[in-house]
Chain A
Amino acid sequence: MGDIAIRVEEIGKLYRIGKREKYKTLRDTLASAFTAPFRNAGKLLRGEWADPGESDPTIWALKDISFEVQRGEVIGVIGGNGAGKSTLLKILSRITEPTTGFAEIHGQVASLLEVGTGFHPELTGRENIFLNGAILGMKRAEIERKFDEIVAFSEVERFIDTTVKHYSSGMYLRLAFAVAAHLEPEILIVDEVLAVGDAAFQRKCLGKMGDVAKEGRTVFFVSHNMAAISSLCTRALLLDSGRLKVSDTPQSVIEEYLSKTRKDAGVPLSERKDRKGGGKVRFTNASVLNNRGEVVESVVSGQDISISLAYEIPSSEKIDNAIVQIKFAGGLGQQLFACLSRTSSRESIELVPGARLYCNIPRLPLAPGLYTYSIWCKVAGRLEDLVSEAGMLSVSEGDYFGTGIFPARTVGDFLVAHTWSTR
């Protein structure tokens, strides 16, 4: 072994961004063709208007990325939103071209950026298996051979001749994943497919990924699920703003990522420019306190925690009719819950220059993982300050239920107190 499976050399990808519509109208282009007929008509024919021009604002979604993947390695890719993970997968899947550099893929490859791509609601489960299989690159004979297995794996035997628009979303996902799970490429490229579906589904996906990895195939996948990365991968890559920051063991890359995100969250709130609102109040700092009131980087499930907010009031006058909200989102940006002062308290909030505001959350019901929170403040019904992703909340395993048993990592975002009884 020791052969190369994927080689990436100085890959870069330039995207055109900006306010401009991504697509233009033929009318406008033709109109401008009249003002500079030859140049523009030539452009239209050569397809050049489609290339990022100098006049457009552009962004390097990836820049100078180089790495190699040996056969049999399982590589996890981590990075914040907009780090370029999807772009990298899209380039390796040949969906989009790199702007610079090149990559080589040695061996038969399949990529799975989404489960159920190409599923058609008007077709039956059976028909969709064939269609989706063909789209993922399977030969018809291969699909026929594996058909029974796929159906059995999907657990939707009874509905296999029903059009999938009548499926529940769970059935739909299971069927879609069943097709994908029966791909047998040498190299598998997977995007965050684990982010959809319920816990059981996610476990099934992870299990299948683990099997694939054990069979000695090369797997290259993106995940926000640090537990999955650390348990499945032999190596991890950290992307940040389009650059490859680290390539190391999953454990150390995860630590690097978490510490970096913590640092980011520590960028003084007061320096954040991307805020909205009138500005009568401005949050200047947000930090997480543990049950002893110490500022910490990480809290534990089931602990009493507080979010401490510092703010400034440019007018230096006391404000006594504020409403404040802290809204929590999961690592994938999914909305989890909000602490809204108007609903949790009958009193308005009083903001006094120089004081801090605390939001206390007893017995934190979040599963281990990385969360972000956004804050806003309204005064007399007007939005005065809003900062999204104002801070980061890193939760590690804790004895939430007081049983000495730490809840497993892959059962969703929340822990809910409950008891069992028999009658």
Chain B
Amino acid sequence: MEESVQVIRIEPSKGWVALQLKELWAYRELLYFLIWRDVKVRYKQTALGAAWAIIQPVFTMIVFSLFFGRLAKIPSDGIPYPIFAYAALVPWTFFSQGLGQAANSLVGSSNLLKKVYFPRLSVPIASVLSGLIDFLIAFIVLLGMMLYYGIHPTLNVIWLPFLLLLTVITSLGVSLWLSALNVHFRDVRHVLPFLTQFWLFATPIAYPSSLLSESWRTLYSINPMVGVVEGFRWALLGVETAPGPMLIVSSLVALALLVGGVFYFRRLEKTFADVL
């Protein structure tokens, strides 16, 4: 006889809705195709293609090295300033690009959202994850710079996957909030550059967090990008600043942002198709 048929129940959702992560998983191929599309289109459209992934962090590094390193003589934990800044700019660029792409992702896919059902979470997730290719390219440049400066990574480099995961979680967490809000408040897009700018300077990219005392540092890492950035420097460049407590605080905040973001997104999700 027939296998039991799947039954889909469609009804108004009340309050905080279930996350349906299982369904997200069931749609993982779509997620893959959305990422693939984003990457493909981005590299097809911009004349500079892959170079674009490097230009942004490298130029920022140059500017920072000139102004903060040379002129302002900001300390850099005993490491050449350019690589000190660049090691932070690599995860930072992934983070800020992710926000930029994801915040507008739902509005940009409005046609899709109005015509097809699929887990809406896939849209901002795909936007954030598609930045991983750019990250990889920028990261290879970082490896090149390490060779040039003769910096050998410490054993701590095994933490790198975890640090990358933390970056993704942070970026995704913030992106979910922003993308959902942007559906209802179209000026989120205008707030975003300001937010990223502010966040950039609230993160120890141009300067080391060792300017602060240990306990202040821990408080400081409520900004999860602090843990990410210092973690990267610690794992790759062997910076002394022990990131232990910072990483714990940052990870907790990042997780909270993500979990909160997913719930918030799911809560607003039902209104997307009506408002877009």
Contacts and interface: CB of A to CB of B under 8 A. Distances in A.
B44 interface: yes
A104 B115 contact: no
Given A122-B41, A140-B29, A90 B116 contact: no
Contacts of B10: 91-92, 94, 97-98, 102-105
Contacts of B181: 26
Interface in B6-28: 6-13
A26 B264 contact: no
Contacts of B40: 122-123, 127
B11 A103 contact: yes
B9 A131 contact: no
Contacts of A139: 29
Interface residues of B, number: 43
Interface stretch (A42-50, A327-335, A403-411): A42-50
Interface stretch (A17-25, A261-269, A336-344): A17-25
Contact of A97 (B8, B13, B32, B116): B13
Contact of B11 (A24, A26, A95, A98): A98
A316 interface: no
A97 B41 contact: no
Contact of B116 (A15, A51, A117): A117
A114 B115 contact: yes
B198 interface: no
Interface in A100-158: 100-109, 111, 113-114, 117-118, 120, 122-123, 127, 130-131, 134-137, 139-140
Contact of B275 (A23, A120, A140): A23
B267 A47 contact: yes
A94 B27 CA distance: 15
B109 to A, nearest CB: 8
B5 interface: yes
Given A94-B8, A95-B115, A23 B267 contact: no
Nearest to A113: B115
A360 interface: no
Nearest to A186: B5
Given A15-B274, A22-B275, A134-B29, A107 B6 contact: yes
Nearest to A93: B117
B112 A117 contact: yes
A186 B44 CA distance: 38
B188 A26 contact: yes
Interface string B105-119: 000000111111110
Contacts of A81: none
Interface string A1-16: 0010000000000011
Q: Which 4 A-B pairs have the closest CB atoms?
A: A26-B185, A102-B11, A94-B117, A134-B33
